[in-house]
């Protein structure tokens, strides 16, 4: 952040990269065109050790677009989804405000960014392209945090914070304020009725929510009883086919 000078921030790890060679150009185009949008994102893909590309993440969005802009908050509240950190492009001021916000402590910095970005009312926009690759390699920080249990703690706290915010909205204890790229309030109104009828009990969203919660317990089992985890994983993939 200290050495960046641009209007937009595109964080990307040194071991990762962009698959779509026009990705940054497309992001800038989208942010310049729509001042209500604060963040642009696309699909990430894994890269294995021998530099071969693996599976493309988020299959639910391969053929169907995710909710855009002011509709995204409903999807986020229903699923606990977090945006792919390897390809987001964010307005600099929004990135600084959300990344360094203090309303979500005891959460990993990028999960905290997601929580603050959504609860502060900023709008994301999805571009339907495979934007970047994330390289899988030995010694990854994420793997270390999974092994020592910190990743599960952060994810659990992230989900708790979202549930708490969702409850406040549904009980009308708090009001969700939508914001544009410059931080100005937008005229959209959050509808509890819409959230319940269209998003909260939608089968695919309920499944995504459950999967996110189960990640915490599967990771614990993997650390404590790896053989049990591997058997369960094989059964899961057989049932999935």
Whether residue 149 is contained in a domain is answered as yes
For residue 152, tell me if it sits in a domain: yes
Q: Pairing state of beta strands 37-47 and 123-135? A: parallel
Distance CA 223, CA 218 (A): 9
Burial of 14 (0-12, 13-18, 19+ CB in 10 A): exposed
Q: Does 1 reside within a domain?
A: no
Residue 158 covered by a domain: yes
Looking at residue 104, its pLDDT comes to: 64
Domain region containing 208? 8-240
Provide the number of structural domains found in the chain. 1
Average pLDDT per consecutive 10 residues, the chain (241 residues; last block may be shorter): 81 90 98 99 91 90 97 97 95 95 79 97 99 76 57 88 97 98 98 96 80 55 45 45 43
Q: Kindly state whether residue 189 falls inside one of the protein's structural domains.
A: yes
**Which is nearest to 83 in space by CA: 136, 22, 37?**
37
Q: Tell me whether residue 20 is in a domain.
A: yes
For the chain, state the CA radius of gyration. 18
pLDDT at 218: 46
Whole-number pLDDT of residue 215: 56
Query: Does residue 2 lie within any of the structural domains?
Result: no
10 Å Cβ neighbour count for 96?
13
140: in domain: yes
Q: What is the pLDDT of residue 124?
A: 99
Q: How far apart are CA 39 and CA 11, in angstroms?
A: 12
Q: How far apart are CA 144 and CA 151, in angstroms?
A: 9
Q: Which of 74, 155, 44 is nearest to 110 (CA)?
A: 155
């Amino acid at each position: 952040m200290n050495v960046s000078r641009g209007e937009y921030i595109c964080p990307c790890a040194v071991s990762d990269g962009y698959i779509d060679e026009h990705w940054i150009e497309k992001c800038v185009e989208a942010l310049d065109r729509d001042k209500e949008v604060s963040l642009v994102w696309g699909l990430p893909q894994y890269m294995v050790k021998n530099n071969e590309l693996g599976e493309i993440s988020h299959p639910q969005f391969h053929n169907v677009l995710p909710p855009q802009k002011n509709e995204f908050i409903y999807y986020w509240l229903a699923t606990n989804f977090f945006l792919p950190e390897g390809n987001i492009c964010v307005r600099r001021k929004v990135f600084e405000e959300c990344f360094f916000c203090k309303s979500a402590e005891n959460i990993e910095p990028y999960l905290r960014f997601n929580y603050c970005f959504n609860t502060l009312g900023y709008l994301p926009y999805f571009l339907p392209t495979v934007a970047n690759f994330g390289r899988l390699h030995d010694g990854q920080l994420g793997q270390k945090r999974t092994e020592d249990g910190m990743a599960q703690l952060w994810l659990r706290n992230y989900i708790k914070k979202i549930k708490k915010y969702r409850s406040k909205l549904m009980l009308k204890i708090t009001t969700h304020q939508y914001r544009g790229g410059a931080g100005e309030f937008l005229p959209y109104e959050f509808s509890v009725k819409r959230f319940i009828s269209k998003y909260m009990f939608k089968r695919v969203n309920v499944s995504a929510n459950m999967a996110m919660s189960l990640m915490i317990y599967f990771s614990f089992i993997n650390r404590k009883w790896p053989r049990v985890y591997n058997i369960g994983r094989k059964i899961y993939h057989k049932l999935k086919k």
